Amino acid sequence: MNKLTILFFPLFAIASCVSCSSKGTDPNPTGPPNGGEPEITNPGKVYDTTGLKYKSYTGLVMAGYQGWFAAEGDGSERGWYHYQGNGGFFPGNTNVDFWPDITEYTKKYKSPFKFE
């Protein structure tokens, strides 16, 4: 390589990095732009909330089984598709990341599953 190439390449790399760097503004600011209230994206649309127990998800936790994996008896006829190794959801073949405390619930559903 000649001396001009050795000198030019590092200068070009530095100039490229500097020109692509942030100008001090965050392109994805955190939080709503108006200081805490969600932005109304369609002000002309009115939602009927008659009969709803909760009118928004604010302050609520949503949890449940991610059904896109398929489960035994869900009508997809794929069984426990995401547990292909041993083909089932049972102790020794599970990974539960979050097991909710349901002691306060008055209505509970029995399940043959026992997490060990």
Q: Please report which confidence band the pLDDT of residue 27 belongs to, taking 50, 70 and 90 as the band edges.
A: low
Tell me how far apart the alpha carbons of residues 104 and 48 are, in angstroms, rounded to a whole number: 31
Confidence of residue 25 (pLDDT cuts 50, 70, 90): low
- Pairwise CA distance, residues 61 & 35, whole Å: 23
pLDDT confidence of residue 38: 60
Between the alpha carbon of residue 12 and those of residues 2, 21, 23, 76, the distances in Å are 16, 14, 19, 56
- Looking at the predicted structure, is the pLDDT value of residue 22 above 60? no
Tokens of 33: 């732009």
Mean per-residue pLDDT, 50-56: 85
Helices vs. strands in the chain: H and E counts, helices first: 1, 0
pLDDT exceeds 70 at position 33: no
17 vs 56, residue with greater confidence: 56
